[in-house]
């Protein structure tokens, strides 16, 4: 019970950047790998803002051997003069005070990614050290912070130079984050995105840990972005690009889009001032409204629709779209510091009008192509209506002929409370047998897999539907698939992939996730897909009364703790597969909601996911070979094999 003696002395004021260290997730979203990399984005955003304003066309990010990261730009350099209001140097304010910066002054930045002005200071607050060098007005200026933003080297001039720009180097605080290891592919993906969005700007990534250098530079921006995403797809149209600036708000809109055949998903990446708005917002709403109106109006004018009305989902099936806005600070509204969703109300009308006018004109000027687009939309509509009709017939009929072959190994859940139900897709009959015995019969269903699933990135729809495992998964989840998938109809709140903790298990996970990604993507984006994490070890012994003392371990570090807990005379089970656990062990470690460990699958970086699926799961083996050669250190593999032997 809380202390009832609540007085004024119980009110604590966190000074400077203490609040950031106390509640880091409020500023960077989390303290896991996602939050860790957010520190980089905040500093890169500042460099991008300079480039957006026309200052500097090279931004270099370096991952250093000591685990630190530096960002160098060729902008104007952060001002180093004394701020009259505070008596502090401007650069010190930027790195030590929340909501301090030039982003609030439209005379300094017409449009900027760093809306809230807390980025650099938050990165400083959550770092072991933050070292800043400013090249400005012929001088090299240096300032340094340590231990969460404490000033240790006041601003000083250390030399002269002809360069201009800012160099920021920081090392994340290991006491704050669950991991402090930066991933080159995550940073690479982010920089490549920025290069697509900023034509003519060079983005360089240097990884000193493995001595690599990558550079991203694109002259055709969003068109090349779409080409990169859809490189292995069957294109219905070329990449179409449209741009304009709204005269009243000065909002700059650029849109690139392409229709693809044999793709049931709508893929939309939206950005504001070079920052991805992964949760969408008013600009996406405006795009959908304008696109739907343009297609329907054209169809009616050409007497193609014959009184029919196309829904937005019919039009956007198989459509890949990039929406990039530059919004002046006066109109810029985001939801939260991480800028995940645009809230600017004017963006609805601005984007809707621009895409309607531009795309309507495009359709009129390219009538043959327009007819192909309309036909695809009508086919999508027909498939949607047919799927809905079939679903209604299934619901109203007690006896329905099942044309697909279903597995007889599915053990269903008994409850009709679908939100509480869980479907375990299990590797192998042995583990499936243990899972059936250890399950909660009311809410947990078990589907053992027979061998590895098919790679759905490279098979036909007909072959997919005649595959017993996938047909059973589709039927069991109960929400259709592809264009007919409806998240409201799912029979399980959680779809849990449960495989062995080895390379075969990882491969099965990848094949299943590829299937969900292509045919039930909303299942992932809505947070319904999980990976079960079985333990690697069981440490146990019997005491004098024959009572078993045991503890499970999911890592080598936990194994050491488990040994200490069990004490002298312990024995160890090393689980090489799920089948080595009996029903009780599998239940209490991997299936029981009270004690299990699950990983929720999400699409944090959609561009990176799309690239990985295309390269690693696609038909082009040369791309896959190149990726392996570029990313796998075979010397490390050889060393690992020797250690295992």
Q: How many CA atoms lie within 13 A of 277 on its CB side?
A: 26
Catalytic annotation on 244? no
CA angle 555, 559, 560 (to 5 degrees): 125
CA angle 312, 314, 319 (to 5 degrees): 85
Q: How many CA atoms lie within 13 A of 473 on its CB side?
A: 28
- The whole-angstrom separation of Cα 39 and Cα 67 is 13
Q: How many CA atoms lie within 13 A of 407 on its CB side?
A: 22
DSSP for 181-215? ---HHHHHHHHHHHHHHSTT-EEEEEETTTTEEEE
For residue 399 the two structure tokens come to: 């006896």
Among 421, 463, 419, 428, which Cα is nearest to 447's?
A: 428
Q: Among 502, 542, 604, 620, which one carries the catalytic annotation?
A: 502
Please report which residue ranges of 220-268 form alpha helices under DSSP H: 221-229
Catalytic annotation on 427? yes
Bridge pairing between strands 444-449 and 422-427: parallel
* Contact status, residue 484 vs residue 419, Cβ threshold 8 Å: no
Distance of CA 81 to the CA centre of its chain: 40
Q: Among 263, 314, 427, 469, which one carries the catalytic annotation?
A: 427
For residue 31 the two structure tokens come to: 């303290």
* Contact status, residue 573 vs residue 540, Cβ threshold 8 Å: yes
Residues 370-373: contacts with CB within 8 Å, 24+ apart?
Answer: 370/298, 370/302, 371/304, 372/236, 372/237, 373/236, 373/237, 373/259, 373/295
Among 91, 83, 146, which Cα is nearest to 120's?
A: 91
Which H or E run includes 509?
A: helix 503-519
* Contact status, residue 352 vs residue 287, Cβ threshold 8 Å: yes
Catalytic annotation on 502? yes
Burial of 474-503, coded b for 16+ CB within 10 Å and e otherwise, reads bbbbebbbbbbbeeeebbbebbbbbbbbee
- The whole-angstrom separation of Cα 429 and Cα 435 is 10
Q: Among 335, 379, 429, 504, which one carries the catalytic annotation?
A: 504
* Contact status, residue 26 vs residue 116, Cβ threshold 8 Å: no
- The whole-angstrom separation of Cα 430 and Cα 623 is 36
CB atoms within 10 A of CB 86: 12
Active-site residues, by number, are: 427, 500, 502, 504
């Amino acid at each position: 019970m809380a202390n009832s003696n609540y007085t004024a002395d119980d009110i604590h004021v966190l000074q400077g950047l203490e609040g950031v260290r106390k509640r880091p997730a409020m500023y960077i979203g989390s303290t896991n790998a996602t939050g860790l990399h957010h520190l980089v984005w905040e500093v890169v955003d500042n460099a991008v803002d300079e480039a957006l304003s026309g200052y500097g066309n090279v931004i270099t990010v370096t991952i250093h051997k000591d685990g630190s990261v530096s960002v160098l730009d060729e902008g104007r350099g952060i001002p180093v003069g004394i701020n009259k209001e505070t008596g502090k140097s401007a650069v010190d304010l930027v790195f030590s005070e929340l909501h301090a910066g030039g982003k609030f002054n439209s005379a300094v930045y017409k449009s900027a990614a760093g809306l809230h002005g807390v980025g650099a200071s938050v990165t400083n607050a959550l770092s072991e050290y933050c070292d800043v060098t400013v090249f400005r007005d012929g001088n090299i200026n240096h300032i340094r912070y340590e231990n969460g933003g404490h000033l240790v080297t006041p601003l000083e001039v250390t030399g002269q130079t002809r360069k201009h720009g800012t160099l920021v180097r920081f090392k994340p605080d290991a006491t704050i984050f669950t991991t402090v290891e930066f991933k080159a592919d995550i940073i690479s993906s982010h920089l490549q995105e920025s290069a697509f969005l900023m034509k003519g700007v060079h983005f360089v990534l240097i990884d000193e840990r493995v001595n690599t250098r990558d550079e991203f530079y694109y002259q055709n921006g969003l068109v090349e972005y779409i080409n990169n995403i859809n490189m292995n797809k069957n294109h219905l149209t070329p990449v179409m690009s449209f741009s304009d600036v709204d005269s009243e708000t000065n909002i700059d809109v650029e849109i690139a889009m392409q229709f693809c055949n044999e793709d049931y998903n709508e893929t939309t990446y939206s950005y504001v001032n070079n920052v991805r708005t992964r949760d969408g917002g008013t600009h996406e709403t405006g795009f959908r409204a304008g696109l739907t109106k343009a297609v329907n109006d054209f169809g009616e004018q050409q007497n193609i629709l014959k009184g029919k009305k196309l829904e937005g989902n019919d039009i956007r099936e198989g459509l890949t779209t990039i929406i990039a806005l530059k919004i002046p600070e006066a109109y810029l509204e985001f939801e939260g510091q991480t800028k995940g969703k645009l809230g600017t109300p004017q963006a609805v009308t601005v984007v809707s009008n621009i895409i309607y006018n531009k795309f309507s004109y495009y359709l009129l000027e390219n009538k043959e192509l327009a007819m192909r687009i309309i036909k695809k939309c009508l086919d999508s509509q027909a498939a949607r209506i047919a799927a809905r009709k079939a679903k209604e017939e299934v619901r109203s009929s007690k006896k329905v002929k099942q044309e697909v072959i279903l597995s007889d190994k599915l053990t269903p859940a008994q409850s009709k409370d679908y939100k509480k139900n869980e479907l375990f897709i299990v590797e192998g009959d042995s583990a499936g047998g243990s899972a059936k015995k250890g399950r909660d019969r009311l809410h947990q269903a078990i589907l053992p897999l027979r061998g590895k699933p098919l790679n759905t990135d490279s098979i036909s729809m007909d072959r997919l539907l005649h595959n017993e495992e996938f047909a059973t998964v589709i039927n069991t989840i109960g929400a259709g698939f592809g264009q007919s998938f409806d998240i409201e109809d799912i029979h399980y709140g959680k779809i849990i992939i449960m495989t062995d903790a080895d390379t075969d298990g990882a491969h099965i996970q990848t094949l299943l996730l590829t299937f969900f990604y292509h045919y039930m993507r909303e299942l992932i984006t809505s947070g319904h897909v999980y990976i079960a994490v079985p333990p690697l070890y069981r440490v146990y012994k019997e005491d004098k009364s024959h009572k078993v003392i045991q503890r499970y371990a999911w890592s080598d570090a936990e194994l050491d703790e488990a040994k200490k807990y069990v004490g002298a005379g312990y024995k160890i089970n090393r689980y090489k597969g799920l089948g080595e656990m009996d029903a009780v062990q599998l239940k209490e470690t991997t299936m029981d909601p009270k004690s299990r460990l699950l990983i929720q699958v999400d699409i944090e970086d959609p561009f990176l996911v799309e690239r990985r699926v295309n390269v690693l799961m696609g038909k082009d083996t040369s791309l896959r070979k190149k990726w392996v050669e570029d990313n796998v250190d075979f010397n490390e593999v050889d060393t690992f094999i020797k250690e295992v032997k």
